[in-house]
Structure 1
Amino acid sequence: MNKGQVVSFDEAVALSQDLVSTKPYCVWVSVFEALGRTLAKDIICKKNLPSYNNAALDGFAFKHQEGLSELLIKTTILAGNVVEPSLGENECYKIMTGAKVPDDADTIIPFEDCLLYDEHKIILSPNVKKGNALRFKGEEERVGALLLSEGTCLSSRDIALLASQGISMVEVYKKLAIAVFSTGDELKSPWEIASEDEIYDINALSLMALLREHGFAAQYCGVIPDNLEAATAYFAQMKQYDVLVTSGGVSMGEADFVERALLINGFKASFHGINIKPGKPTMMGKMGETIVASMPGNPLAAYVNAFLFLIPVLKKFQGQKKFNFEVIYAQNSEPFKVKSGRINLVLGTYNLGAFYAFDGNRYGSGMVKPLVNSNALWISDETTTHVESGEEIKLLLF
């Protein structure tokens, strides 16, 4: 593409996701370390769920038939006990939750539903239905069924499913190696002293936190001075990473050396500039096999554009099948204005089906508080000039 060419929002989404052409190699990890990792292979059911007929609650197990009333208690079955079928006529088992139900019983009545019971006998309620409170072998999943698909980002609930199959090791994709850094002689790292003429590096820390929220660990590589020679040498040592995330140094300013330093190292931009506000200077491309995402220097713009463009790319690169955002619908609470001719990214609060634009959409891309006080993002089209109160809109939660 031509230098300085500004692409549309949709083009930026497509071009950024096209940067992913491969998946990481596979590794085996303990199920204790599998949370948040991406499955490299399907998980197939190898043990029925449940693996045997069992009691859904504490009660009495018996063979259902018409006319039953009084039953003698044959024996007590606890979870973990294996009892062979041994019921005689008008007999039942006292059974505890999760215990295996012998094949000669097909119904369970909870203690509290009995008309009467003691240590030796029970009197049934006449309303007990056959199969009551019985969890049947394989009723949840049967051997051979697909439990989890390749590309699933494992949640705590997925770990429970793995545990149900006795899986101790699972094959996942290797974690991406991600480096995050900022540019600017005016920036100081958090452990340094900043004078009145200097500012702290907000972007590197906020972007690393954003990545971690979405399951990605990154290495903080500090601040690169606005110096072409130093930046060029720095990037030459960064090609072992899967992804480089920069902020600042990508606008048309005289001292913005990032793109030039990257180009010297073989960088090819997919785009440099998006027709959006905030975040017009956003640039993405590849340096060899390394994906490079260069965010604007303003904190709000850097964060929002990393959320919109970088996070889906990382999820796709990590091998996840679900990498696009889910859209929700809301009613706009208070009217606000936007400028037509571009895509506008408007931060606000989503609560009980309503959207409240932060400060009526009157804030700047260099601010931080709109991020702190927002949990939703509205994306305009290029023709919209205002949004009315009560108007239905689409939102992304973040």
Structure 2
Amino acid sequence: MVSVSEAEKIILDFLFVPIVQSIPIEEAQGKIIAEEIKADRDLPPFNKATMDGIAVSFEQIQKGKQEFIIEGTQAAGQAQLRLTTNENCFEIMTGAPLPIGCDTVIPYENISIQNKLASVHNTSTTEFQNVHAKGSDATQGKILLKIGTRLSPADIAVLASVGKKEVTVFKYPRAAVISTGDELVDVAETPLPHQIRKSNSHALTTSLNQLGCSADQFHLRDNEHELTEKLKSILSDYELIILSGGVSKGKYDFVPQVLESLGVKKLFHGVSQRPGKPMWFGVSQKNFVFALPGNPVSTFMCFHRYVKLWLTKSMGEQPKIQHAILAKDFSFAPSLTYFLQAKIKNENGKLMAYPDAGGGSGDFVNLIDVDGFVELPRKKNEFKAGEVFQLHLFR
């Protein structure tokens, strides 16, 4: 059995090395970018009005001029106009380029217009007011997005703004999520008293989807021959394999021995933690296999503590390490790292963790009421309110 820190180190010593692919930006949400994105021109590319009103030369305002003849209207999307004399003005719309000869925008609220003559009210005007200056967001050639950035909707907007119809991203491993157990039936079925519906595979698949990785689902019965034949096929077709169930010491827990018989080298089996103690991890020349305990909370915790970290690092993204303050005293006697379910509240800018241990590793309903796991270190029994611990959020 290994410790949590040892398990993490072993897993991170065997990262997946992704290839790159070019995809349309419409499909890039949540993907990890594999190229630097630079501004192809100044942003904004021209001095831009930020309010509707009139565009004037501030020099004339300084001279005390308060009435301006309107030469025309500068609209957004229209080529830049030019004043015939800086004693006049243009009406201007939000987003329009500032006409040549103008450097200041006075909003409609501060003027009155009659017979093409704009009169400025007795209000304070400053030079360059209501103007978004050319290049003030980014100058041409500036790096806007770095390699390893997970693309958000805001990042997609940046890609579009610099003309990137397609973007190079890291390609996720082909992933298979496998549930095991004769007691499991499909979601649409009505289970018999001794059966339960499959839930772990759906939790794992959607958790992968949140990271930008798609996965195919499989279900295998507790039959050594069937496990061997079907896992052999799955191992040939997929790179990342996540199993749920069949890894403990029960009479029908065949998964570890079957994986090893198929050439997957065991790197550890058992972690000194609760929940998720029987977790198994191994690799082959092609495969990375996480075999997680079948109890729902164990499966969910192990994914968020280990698989998510492994996948994030494999794709070149730096994981965000968070901490929370324990809001109430908590006791845990066994010499194991304990992943405490907790409700997280932001109180005055601090993340406070309110313990809600639930009914054990089989109580998946309790996950509805909590936001993450607080990692309580082993070799300690009493955890006091106010102490800070690592937090693994899933909500």
TM-score, length of structure 2 as denominator length: 0.92
- SS of the counterpart of 2:266? strand
Residue of 350, 356, 373 corresponding to 2:354: 356
- Structure 1: gaps of 5 or more residues: 1-5
How far did residue 316 of structure 1 move?
A: 2.5
Say if 2:14 is the partner of 1:19: yes
Shift of 1:83: 3.5
TM alignment of 1:142-221, pairs within 5 A: 142-221=139-218
Q: The residue matched to 1:352 in structure 2 has which SS?
A: strand
Contact 1:270 1:285 in 2 (8 A): yes
Contact 2:32 2:317 survives alignment (8 Å) = no
The one of 124, 133, 157 aligned to 2:130: 133
Query: How much has 1:287 moved relative to structure 2?
Result: 2.7
| Structure 2 unmatched runs, 5+ | none
Are the counterparts in 1 of residues 30 and 210 from structure 2 also a CA contact under 8 Å? no
Aligned residue in 2 for 1:237: 233
SS in 2 for 1:196: coil
Distance 1:45 1:293 in 2: 41
1:3 equivalent in structure 2: none
Q: How far apart, CA to CA, are the structure 2 residues paired with 1:247 and 1:89?
A: 74
- In the TM superposition, residue 246 of structure 1 has moved relative to its aligned partner by 0.2
Instruction: List aligned pairs for 1:292-311, cutoff 5 A.
Output: 292-311=289-308
1:32 aligns with 2:26: yes
Q: Tell me whether 1:64 sits opposite 2:58 in the alignment.
A: yes
- The 1-side partners of 2:185 and 2:365 are apart by 20
SS in 1 for 2:149: coil
- Once the 2 structures are TM-superposed, how far is the Cα of residue 173 of structure 1 from its aligned partner? 2.1
Q: What is the distance in 2 between the residues matched to 1:180 and 1:170?
A: 28
Q: Displacement, 1:390? A: 4.7
Corresponding residue for 2:70?
Answer: 73
Q: How does the TM-score come out when normalised to structure 1?
A: 0.91
Alignment partner, residue 272 of structure 2: 275
CA distance in 2 between partners of 1:173 and 1:201 (Å): 31
- The CA deviation at 1:375 is 0.6
- 1:21 to 1:117, Cα distance in 2 relative to 1, 3 A: same
Report if the CA contact (8 A) 1:184-1:226 is conserved: yes
Give 3-state SS (helix, strand or coil) of 1:57's partner: coil
Alignment-mate amino acid for residue 206 of structure 2 = A
Q: Is the 8 A contact 1:59 1:110 kept in 2?
A: yes
CA contact (8 A) 1:153 1:320 kept: no
Tell me the alpha carbon deviations over residues 141-171 of structure 1, each in whole angstroms, 9 at most, x when there is no partner: 1111101112222111111101111221111
Question: Which of 372, 375, 388 is matched with 1:376 structurally?
Answer: 372
What CA RMSD, in Å, does the superposition of the two structures yield over aligned residues? 1.8
Distance 1:102 1:198, change over 3 A: same
Deviation per residue, 1:27-77 (Å, 9 max, x gap): 221111221222121111112211111111111111112123222212111
- Alpha-carbon offset, residue 265 of structure 1: 1.0
What number of residue pairs does the alignment pair up? 385
Q: Which of 262, 266, 282 is residue 265 of structure 1 equivalent to?
A: 262
Q: Distance in 2 between matches of 1:206 and 1:89?
A: 66
